[in-house]
Structure 1
Amino acid sequence: MLLWLLGILAAIILIPLGVFVVAYTTYDVPEPEELTSKQVSSIYASDASTELARVVPPEGNRRQVPLDEVPEHLQNAVLAAEDREFWTNRGFSLTGFGRAVIGQLTGNDSAGGGSTITQQYVKNALVGDEHSYVRKARELVYSIKMTNEWSKEDILSAYLNTVYLGRNAYGMEAASHAYFNKPVAEVTPEEGAVLAATIQLPSQLDPWTNPEGAEQRWNYVLDGMVEMDALPAEQRTGMVYPETRDPAEYSAYTEATGTNGMIKNHVMEELQRVGITEDDVTTRGLRITTTIDMQAQNATLNAVETQMAGLQEDARAAVATVEPGTGAVRSYYGGEDAAGWDYANAALQTGSTFKIFGLAAALQQGIPLSAQYDSSPVQLPGGITVNNWDNSSAGYTTIAEALKRSYNTSFIRLQDDLENTTQDTADMAHALGVARSLPGIPATLTENGGQPYEGIILGQYQSRAIDLATAMATIANRGVWHETHFVERVETGTGEVLYEHQAGDGERRVSEVVADNLLSAMGPLAAYSNGNSLAGGRPSAAKTGTAQLGDTGNNKDAWIIGATPQLATAVWVGTADNTTAIFNEWGGNMFGSGTPARIWKSTLDGALEGKEIEQFASPAPINFGTGPMGYAPAPAYTPPPVATGPAEQPAPAEEPSPEPEPAPEPEPAPEIQLPELPPPPGDGGGVEIAPGIVLPDLL
């Protein structure tokens, strides 16, 4: 019996020992540089071959720093957080394992795990994080062998250069920039403790998402440094948790040029919304196919470059093209600086382009294009007089003619005939695709949460080029909205499909007869705006608009929005800070029928070259019954409260955010603001609807 027991005991000891010896002699410990895995995710155009941008994980582009550039206090903070016996253990720690067990039994999560720094590095660099005894055994063998073959300094240096600390930051150098916007060599003891405290649970312990948990772990690290005699107790007493950087200000290294950087930003936001995580992007070598059509994109870039060349130095442009039947963004231009302000995603005054939403609401309520409206000056409450840009009046004209000539007065009267007046204009704009909220604007198209002012139909409020392109796409699709999107397909480097966009049937936002009539009214406007008809007689529907710069008589925003059955494009031209005037190539006032219309025409001509010429549907008459003035609302549809639009605008890297023009001080009486130079036929100037408040007027 004793011999049997001794044999069993020997087997229990010798067999694992033999396995360990075999494994120890078999496993090779590579050098640190051989362990780096560079998983680059690529963003492609819709052809799946033209690369628009690359997303390089921080471990792929990190700058390794020698150990002597990492402050000693930061090294000690990491040891206090993760492995207080690092300098003396043999790659594993029995006391650390015991401390972890006690922590689990007592519910003290801050006690940490039982893995040493060497084991953590081996897990991340060599054996992975699979939950199995085999993996744990391999981790132990590698850790012991690495301790015997590498110096402790080399192990610590490799760990500090590769450990993940959240915010897409691998290694202490990247993390120092992510949390404190400074090199690791400049990190203070308080800041170093923040970085060390983050290692345990990078996402859960980010101070911007879990300030209480982050500070609790920070205190644990500092107390551990005192216990290790690495920090004087009196210095510890006076320490205060430091301020950390807003994570929105930090982004991983991205290789993109020009407006491709802005497309990349939209893509990354959209991936997050569909459930593809930051970890997927940085570790799985994704192939991301976007909706960007290179024929349309190249046409857009060429149009912007050609038409903007002769303008002032601070002139800027924005272009967004959306496919009506799918909501796919086919071309996008927000600026030349890949990390700069995205003007296609910026809130800007829209001018008379917004008249189409009031007209759509009127059509939906049974008011036909043939309805006659007075174009003479109109009186608003408070004795405010609204005129047309040149004080002209054509008497009673059809609302279709008023749209063509962009009569402010006719559209103010039209809006007054809507069941809910200005609110109906806002609701229709939202239903067709204008975002309900924007960065810095919690609720759009409203006056302090209440009903918007009369100027909404003249473009008083702000919207974005991407939203107006979306709205035009909904109209061109005969009233059916599709979600605007940039991402078509996502697959891993091994071919696994993680996501594929399904366009579906869309949502009807307005009746077909309304969309058809609106398109019919907008049909003549491209030709009327300086002869910017599309090539080959291709039919289009368009509307220009301009917003004035206060009471200066100059303009700051010039627009055109328009569509064919295949594509809808919105174009804005203004200045970099949106607080100065924009002029044309001859130094005169810029109008929507100028540079914006030429960019719009060139974009659509190039994007649709070689494509079939499609026609809009012929509009059926608006004859919904009888009511006030012979009209009655259409019973078929009520716009739902659905928010639309792409991702929010990230903070600008260099250029300031365009801000709405503040209203000047009240003046004794309203006066008409005329443009500096006579505009082309069909364009208008500004109109003052309240003392000192000038609203856009132009066609």
Structure 2
Amino acid sequence: MNRVNWLQRIIILAIGVNLLIGCTSAGTMEPPEVPVPSKIVDANNRLITTVSQVNTVPVELDQISIHLQQAIVAIEDERFYQHQGIDFKGLGRAVYQNLISRKIVQGGSTITQQLAKNLYLGPERTFARKAKEIYYTFQLERKYTKKEILNMYLNHVYFGQGAYGIEAAARTYFNKSAADLTLGESAMLAGLPRAPSYYAPTTNLQGAKERQSVVLARMVELGIISPEEAQAAREETIEPQKQSENLKQAPYFVAEIIKYIESKYPDGLEMLYSSGLTIQTSLDLELQKTAEQALRQGLEKINPEINGALVAVDPTNGYIKAMVGGRDWQKSQFNRALAKMQPGSAFKPFLYTAAIDAGYTAATVLTCEPQTYRQEGAPPYTPKDHKVGYHYRPFILKQALAISDNVIAVKLANMLGPEAIVRFAQAMGVESSLRPYLSLALGTSEVTPLEMATAFGPLAQAGIRTKPLYILKITDSNGRVLEEYTPQRAKVLDEKVAYIVTDMLRAAVTTGGTAAQLSQQVHRPIAGKTGTTEDYTNAWFVGYTPGLVASVYVGYDDKSKRVGLTGSDVAAPIWAQFMEQGLKDTPVEDFKEPDGVTRMEVSTTDGLKATELTEEKMEAVFVEGTEPKVPSLGEFWWQQPIDSGEGPGDLTDNTEESPGEERPENDDPWRNSIDNE
């Protein structure tokens, strides 16, 4: 009864206001509020785009199919031609149904009420707004005929996909005028105003058909059409045409912002198109343009069909500074920056981070030689390196990561246990599900480019992980803040571990590393890792400076096609162009060395402290007290790792296929990286 009393009070108040103003008010109605487009701006308040009511074509009532007129009245306001603006019978029925359901299951607004709201009021839901709505409803009924009201309503109601009004909707969804709509098409469009984003036939044809059936059933119930006509309408072949929004700047990023607003607010798209919102995002428009150019030019050098993604994140605050989800938005709106693909050896840094945290050092020695791993319920697994198979020699971990040795990576994963890799990857920012197989070290679980950029962030920022941010603030047309977000940080790694792994990854972009050419292309301290999956399906490079992490993916949407080149060949050059151009006006910054670490040259063959007689040596960073020393006679010379406590664990694999059998690409625990460029 409380809800009924509340509604009664609103109606009584509105009627009282209406009577006080008197009939003379009919000629002094306020003009409708002009829709104000929303603005999406970057972090520096530079305009990225406006989101406006760009698709509206007013028509007269006789230019609208009678089927559509009948359908919209049947489903939205069956007593439209009998009531005087407020349908008390319909309102009472809706209140009763809502009360017994203890939730809003029916609406009581008439077509005239909806028109009043669309013309004169904003999206807020308050007592005062409802009173104004009822007042304007009475004024509309007093001033205009029912046909005029229906005509205005059909020219203003939102049908989704940016289409305001029935003519725009008919053209958007069916490429025809409103006068030519069939009964089936009319019933489908009449069902859209209730939830245009959900029932849009271009994105949810099944849901649109279900809603169409509800409208047709209601028309039969009211005697407007026969059951046979309804059935024929249901059986019509309807093929909506797909249309994408014409987004010129940062289209993949902007699409995610629009998607967020649409899902967050009940009238999200209406708010965007007419309420004058200002959405301040994390994007840097100049970096975005640089990213788009770098990806486009890099892909053009390969072939016209290959695609890719580039996403850049500021690890200090989580701001997504650039996001390019593909080479051409007009051809494909699929955002590859948020799509899951196998990263290949670009995933190895999580393995090595787990190892350094567990007490292994950059000079721990492992040998690249044949080794078979037996696991319960699975055939034997014998990893190999690209091209050479095996090096048959020892490597220190820093060098093994720099050259991306697969055999040593799997051996290390076996020593740690793949569950440790999962824990560290997820703690650092990977949110996708990871399969705890030994081959996880080689990047066999699918992740997104955004996740990879986020998860490399703690290595760039002394072990601090920051949650990625799209939106900084949303304000309405009056400057009132609707949402505001600040960086969320968490310490996930010891700063010494992060610095040591960064030092190891710097070796990957210098002489002898898989992306050695980058040291000549990017003129500032950088670190990073290439990735190439089996059969050259995906190519990656993920790298960073202290203030920017960028992830680049290159591959075909059709996974039966092969890139034919490595991450070093195709992804690393795109990354280098983006970083060099994007950061050219920023100060050169080095990675800050934390307290408690020391540098030392070590032998790459035995991990000992290098001497004047050492032929093959490399500088490495160690936690103080763990650096190798020259042993006295009779001491063991190899580096003994500290047991992580995890051990190899139970590495049971329940698959029954052998490594040589055909398996789905996204479910193969033995799929190797070939990243020994």
**Which of 413, 427, 443 is the matching residue for 2:423?**
427
Within-5 A mapping of 1:602-613? 602-613=577-588
Aligned equivalent of 2:225? 231
Q: Is the 8 A contact 1:54 1:254 kept in 2?
A: no
Q: Is this contact kept in 2: 1:565–1:615, CA < 8 A?
A: yes
Q: 1:361 aligns with which of 346, 354, 369?
A: 354
Give the whole-Å Cα distance in 2 for the aligned partners of 1:314 and 1:205.
33
| Mapped partners of 1:268, 1:374: distance in 2 | 52
What letter matches 2:318 in structure 1? Answer: G
Aligned partner of 1:547 among 533, 536, 552: 533
Deviation at 1:457, TM superposition (A): 0.9
Partner of 1:23: 25
CA contact (8 A) 1:560 1:572 kept: yes
C-alpha deviation, 1:371, in angstroms: 0.6
Could you tell me how far apart the structure 1 residues matched to 2:504 and 2:18 are?
A: 85
- Measure how far apart 1:465 and its partner are: 1.4
Partner of 1:445: 434
Q: 1:461 aligns with which of 428, 437, 445?
A: 445
Deviations 1:577-625 (A, max 9, x none): 243122xxxxxx4222223222212211122223222221336234799
- Secondary structure class of the residue paired with 1:473: helix
1:93 Cα offset (Å): 6.2
Match of 1:262 in 2: 252
User: In the alignment, residue 434 of structure 1 is paired with which amino acid?
Assistant: V
CA contact (8 A) 1:319 1:465 kept: yes
Q: How far 1:323 sits from its partner (Å)?
A: 0.7
SS of aligned partner of 2:567: coil
Cα displacement (A) at 1:525 = 1.6
Aligned to 1:402: 400
Counterpart selection for 1:531 from 494, 517, 520: 517
Of 490, 502, 526, which aligns to 1:507? 490
Q: Give, in angstroms, the shift of residue 80 of structure 1.
A: 3.0
Aligned to 2:591: 616
The secondary structure found in structure 1 opposite 2:369 is coil
Structure 2 vs 1, CA of residues 578 and 204 (structure 1 numbering), >3 Å: closer, same or farther?
A: closer
Query: In 2 relative to 1, CA 110–179 (structure 1 residues): closer, same or farther, beyond 3 Å?
Result: farther
For residue 640 of structure 1, what is the aligned residue in structure 2?
A: none
| Structure 2 residue 641 is matched with structure 1 residue 631 | yes
C-alpha distance in 1 between matches for 2:311 and 2:498: 21
- CA pair 313-174 structure 1, distance change in 2 beyond 3 A: same
Number of residue-to-residue matches in the alignment:
591
Whether the aligned pair in 1 keeps the contact of 2:71 and 2:215 (CA below 8 Å) is no
Distance in 2 between residues matched to 1:570 and 1:318, nearest whole Å: 8
2:305 is aligned, of 310, 314, 323, to: 314
2: CA distance, partners of 1:27 / 1:624:
82
Range with greater deviation from structure 2 (78-87 or 203-212)? 203-212
The alpha-carbon deviation at position 284 of structure 1 amounts to: 1.9
After TM superposition, the structure 1 = structure 2 runs for residues 191-210 of structure 1, keeping only pairs within 5 Å, are 192-193=186-187, 195-196=189-190
Residue 282 of structure 1 and its aligned partner are, at CA, apart by 3.1
| Residue type at the aligned position of 2:434 | L
Q: Which residue of 1 aligns with 2:34?
A: 37
3-state SS of 1:525 partner = helix
Partner of 2:8: none
Distance change >3 Å, CA 166–CA 629, structure 1 → 2: same
Offset from partner CA, 1:211-262 (integer Å, 9 cap, x none):
9996996477324530xxx32366458886999999xx988x744126x110
Residue correspondence of structure 1 range 651-670 to structure 2 within 5 A: 667=660
Q: Do the aligned residues in 2 keep the contact of 1:625 with 1:632 (CA within 8 Å)?
A: no
- Alignment-derived partner of residue 574 in structure 2: 599
- Which residues of 2 match residues 102-501 of structure 1 at below 5 A? 104=95, 113=108, 115=110, 117-118=111-112, 120-126=114-120, 130-131=128-129, 136-147=134-145, 153-164=147-158, 170-173=164-167, 188-189=182-183, 192-193=186-187, 195-196=189-190, 218=215, 221-226=218-223, 230-232=224-226, 235=229, 254-257=245-248, 260-271=250-261, 277-338=268-329, 340=332, 341-381=334-374, 382-389=379-386, 390-418=388-416, 421-436=417-432, 444-446=433-435, 451-452=436-437, 454-501=438-485
Between stretches 592-601 and 186-195, larger displacement belongs to 186-195
Deviations 1:615-649 (A, max 9, x none): 213362347999x98433679xxxxxxxxxxxxxx
What amino acid is the match of 2:365?
Q
Aligned CA distance change for structure 1 residues 161 and 597 (closer, same or farther; 3 Å):
same
SS of 2:525's partner is coil
Structure 1 residues 634 and 497: alpha-carbon distance in aligned structure 2, compared to 1, 3 A threshold: farther
Cα distance in 1 for residues equivalent to 2:193 and 2:261: 25
> How far, CA to CA, are the matches of 2:106 and 2:390 in structure 1?
80
1:664 is displaced (CA, Å) by 11
Aligned CA RMSD, in angstroms, stands at 4.4
8 Å CA contact 2:55, 2:164 repeated in 1 = no
1:409-448 CA-to-partner distances (Å, cap 9, x unmatched) read 1111111110xx1122122212211222xxxxxxx221xx
Q: Which amino acid aligns with 1:572?
A: Y
Q: 1:372 to 1:134 in 2, by over 3 A?
A: closer
SS in 1 for 2:144: helix
Kept after mapping to 2: 8 A contact 1:44/1:288 = yes
Q: Which runs of 5 or more structure 1 residues have no equivalent in the other structure?
A: 1-12, 437-443, 550-554, 583-588, 636-662, 670-687
Name the CA distance, whole Å, in 1 between partners of 2:411 and 2:96.
Answer: 75
Q: Distance in 2 between matches of 1:479 and 1:36?
A: 51
2:57 is matched with which residue?
Answer: 63
Structure 1: distance between partners of 2:275 and 2:191: 27
User: How far is the alpha carbon of 1:309 from its aligned partner?
Assistant: 3.2
- 1:452-497: CA deviation from partner (whole Å, max 9, x where unpaired): 3x22111222222111111111211122111111222222233223
Q: Distance in 1 between matches of 2:442 and 2:401?
A: 11
Q: What is the deviation of 1:403?
A: 0.8
Distance 1:85 1:558, change over 3 A: closer
Instruction: Decide whether the 8 Å contact of 2:539 with 2:565 is kept in 1.
Output: yes
Which residue type is aligned with residue 225 of structure 2?
A: L
TM-score (norm 1): 0.73
Preserved CA contact (<8 Å) 2:399 2:507: no
Whole-angstrom distance in 1 between the partners of 2:277 and 2:147: 35
Q: Aligned with 2:518: secondary structure? A: coil
Partner of 2:537: helix, strand, or coil? strand
* 1:572 corresponds to 2:553: yes
**How many Å separate the matches in 1 of 2:493 and 2:521?**
30
TM-score of the superposed pair, with normalisation by structure 2: 0.75
Match of 1:80 in 2: 74
Residue of structure 1 equivalent to 2:618: none
1:13-70 residue CA offsets vs partner (Å, 9 max, x unmatched): 9x98895342234448x7xxxx583331122222212x3233224xx42334543453
- 1:462 is paired with a residue whose SS is coil
d(CA) in 2 for partners of 1:102 and 1:567?
58
User: What is the distance in 1 between the residues matched to 2:501 and 2:385?
Assistant: 22
Q: Partner letter of residue 456 of structure 2?
A: M
Q: Which amino acid aligns with 2:568?
A: S
In structure 2, do the counterparts of structure 1 residues 241 and 54 end up closer, same or farther at CA, with 3 Å as the change threshold?
Answer: farther
Name the amino acid aligned to 2:157.
Answer: V
1:183–1:470 CA distance, 2 compared to 1 (3 A): farther
Give ranges in structure 2 of 5+ residues lacking alignment.
1-14, 598-621, 628-637, 646-655, 663-667
Cα distance in 2 for partners of 1:205, 1:544 equals 43
Shift of 1:197: 5.5
> Which residue of structure 2 lines up, in the alignment, with residue 8 of structure 1?
none
CA contact (8 A) 1:360 1:428 kept: yes
Aligned equivalents of 1:162 and 1:534: distance in 2? 59
Choose which of 44, 60, 71 in structure 2 pairs with 1:47: 44
Percent identity between matched residues is: 24
